[in-house]
Homo-oligomer: A and B are copies of this chain.
Amino acid sequence: MSEVDPPYLLRPVGIVHSQLKRREDCPHQGQEGAPEAWLEIDADFADGLDGIAPGTEVILVTWFHEARRNVLRVHPRGNPETPLCGVFATRSPNRPNPIGLHRLEVLEIREERWLRVRPLEALDGTPVLDIKPVLPGSAGDF
């Protein structure tokens, strides 16, 4: 190990600021009416944003900090009438590693570390783990 941190320990690089203050207010997916939000990237990591501009489509990687990690089967979309299903076949936030993926557009950048984005269904205060560009190409377009 050449790292200071132990393996498998995540370092949040920023935080979500959103009007979504309660889990029950969050749409299941960004495309289901999710609002704009601001991503505040910590000053220590702002250099990593070089090359991202308004109009860039990115995959935001978050940590669902309120998720339950000891769950392996869920009712899809929280509907108790839907049969239980393995978490890896769903997008439930409840899963062993509650990593969230959100495809969104960067609308504006301020002070080189604040990003206005849309749409984002994540809760206010959600930790940001990573940002990746959407790759060109149809089938692998994620």
Contact = CB atoms under 8 A, between A and B. Distances in A.
Contact of A85 (B3, B12, B50): B50
Interface residues of A, number: 58
Contacts of A72: 45, 47-48
A142 to B, nearest CB: 3
Contact of A8 (B9, B45, B85): B9
B135 A49 contact: no
Interface of A: 2-3, 5, 7-13, 29-31, 45, 47-52, 56, 58-59, 61, 63, 65, 68-70, 72-73, 84-91, 95-97, 99, 101, 103, 127, 129-135, 137, 139-142
23 contacts: A5-B69, A8-B9, A8-B127, A11-B69, A11-B96, A11-B97, A13-B97, A29-B135, A49-B88, A49-B89, A50-B86, A51-B86, A52-B86, A59-B101, A59-B142, A88-B132, A89-B133, A90-B132, A91-B133, A97-B129, A99-B99, A99-B130, A101-B101
